[in-house]
């Protein structure tokens, strides 16, 4: 009984939702970009590096200009720098995408830690905008409409990702590349170019995610702020069965589970279980729905013309 009272207690507090929304915002930004890349048939495990690079370059941008707008732009550039290495090496030079991704994760962590000691950029949270009326909705109002303003970027990025993939010629070609690269190639679509572009888009949104991290959620930079959440974003895409709707649902679910660690701090909850929950749920989901949910056919298969 006490357990249920505790749960009720948590779910009737505004703070729970605010924390969960902050966790979710970062995941949504990274995962919606990763979703685009995976629809193009490439698993981009350097999301972690892109988030960290976005956060770091964003922090430097803020340090120089004290302007959150510049910080966001710098963050996007930071993400795209990593994306350029990932894309050019794995889809132009035909190096293994996992090696490149893993290496970038290690490399960016090292560079960020190294440069942070030397530069130590100064960052502050962006100012909060309460959206009138909407932010007065009980429980979820503050969480969704009463946040520091860069939070509202997610309301642009998510529909834009959907529009890009499902309502443009580029998106159609992108999905073709993910499903059947050989046919796409025969139809004069440059397979590896589409994949590179998709990775650049992941870099862009993850860079925004990095800026989000420093401007909305944490308000300072250190090299461990991302802390494996890039991998959770990847898990969310898989959990969502490679649909955008499912991906967002995964982000919200995982963010809620993760935020319990903060909002449940007074109660005795198994924190190891909470932290591995996103991964366990995703694995179980894949095992149970494996025959109904289908990954893009060419997922993680490099394309070289003439080789199958």
Contact 44, 196 (CB under 8 A): no
Considering only the stretches 7-15, 110-118, 175-183, 204-212, report the one whose residues sit in contact with other proteins under the rule CB under 8 A.
Answer: 110-118
Instruction: Please report how many Cα atoms fall inside a 13 Å half-sphere around the Cα of residue 45, on the Cβ side.
Output: 14
With respect to other proteins, which residue has the nearer C-beta, 130 or 190? 190
Nearer to other proteins, 100 or 198 (CB): 100
Residues from 72 through 91 that contact other proteins (CB under 8 A): 85, 88-89
Output the smallest distance, CB 185 to other proteins, in A: 15
- The residues facing 128 across adjacent strands are 148
Packing angle between helix 14-39 and helix 169-179, nearest 10 degrees? 70
CA separation for the pair 134, 146 (Å, rounded): 9
Long-range contacts of 107-116 (CB under 8 A, 24+ apart): 107/49, 108/46, 108/48, 108/49, 108/52, 108/53, 108/82, 109/49, 109/52, 109/223, 112/52, 112/53, 112/56, 112/223, 113/223, 115/56, 116/56, 116/221, 116/222, 116/223
Contact call for residue 136 and other proteins (CB under 8 A) = no
110 scored as a contact of other proteins (CB under 8 A): yes
Q: Specify the stretch interacting with other proteins by CB under 8 A; choose among 27-35, 201-209, 210-218, 267-275.
A: 267-275
Quote the longest CA-to-CA distance of the chain. Answer: 64
Report the 10 Å Cβ neighbour count for 1.
5
Q: Which of 6, 10, 139, 300 binds other proteins (CB under 8 A)?
A: 300
Looking at the Cβ atoms of 102 and 140, the one nearer to other proteins is 102
- Using rule CB under 8 A, residue 279 touches other proteins: yes
Applying the rule CB under 8 A, the residues between 40 and 59 that interact with other proteins are 43, 45
Q: Which is nearer to other proteins, 152 or 279 (CB)?
A: 279
Q: Closest CB to other proteins among 151 and 303?
A: 303
Residues 199-228 that bind other proteins (CB under 8 A): 228
> What mask of x and - would describe binding to other proteins in positions 238 to 257, judged by CB under 8 A?
x-------------------
Contact 230, 30 (CB under 8 A): yes
Binding site for other proteins (CB under 8 A): 43, 45, 85, 88-89, 92-96, 98-100, 102-104, 106-111, 113-115, 117-118, 228, 231, 234-235, 238, 270, 272-273, 275-276, 279-280, 282-283, 286-287, 290-291, 295, 299-300
């Amino acid at each position: 009984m006490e357990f249920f009272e505790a749960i009720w207690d948590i779910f009737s507090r505004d703070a729970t939702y605010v924390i969960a929304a902050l966790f979710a915002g970062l995941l949504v930004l990274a995962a919606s970009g990763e979703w685009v890349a995976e629809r193009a048939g490439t698993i981009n495990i350097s999301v972690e590096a892109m988030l960290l690079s976005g956060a770091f370059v964003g922090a430097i941008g803020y340090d120089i200009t004290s302007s959150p707008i510049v910080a966001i732009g710098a963050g996007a550039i930071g993400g795209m720098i990593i994306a350029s290495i990932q894309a050019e090496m794995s889809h132009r030079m035909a190096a293994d995408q996992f090696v490149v991704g893993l290496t970038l994760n290690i490399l960016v962590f090292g560079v960020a830690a190294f440069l942070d000691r030397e530069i130590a950029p100064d960052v502050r949270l962006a100012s909060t905008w309460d959206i009138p009326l909407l932010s007065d909705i009980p429980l979820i109002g503050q969480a969704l409409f009463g946040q520091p303003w860069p939070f509202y970027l997610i309301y642009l990025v998510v529909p834009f990702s959907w529009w890009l993939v499902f309502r443009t010629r580029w998106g159609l070609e992108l999905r073709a590349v993910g499903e059947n690269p050989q046919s796409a190639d025969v139809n004069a679509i440059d397979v590896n170019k589409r994949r590179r572009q998709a990775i650049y888009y992941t870099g862009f949104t993850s860079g925004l995610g990095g800026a989000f991290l420093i401007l909305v959620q944490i308000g300072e930079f250190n090299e461990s702020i991302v802390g494996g959440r890039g991998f959770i974003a990847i898990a969310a895409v898989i959990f969502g069965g490679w649909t955008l709707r499912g991906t967002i649902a995964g982000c919200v679910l995982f963010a809620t589970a993760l935020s319990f660690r903060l909002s449940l701090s007074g109660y005795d909850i198994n924190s190891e279980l909470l932290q591995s929950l996103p991964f366990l749920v995703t694995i179980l989901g894949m095992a149970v729905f494996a025959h109904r949910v289908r990954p893009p056919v060419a997922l993680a298969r490099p394309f070289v013309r003439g080789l199958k």
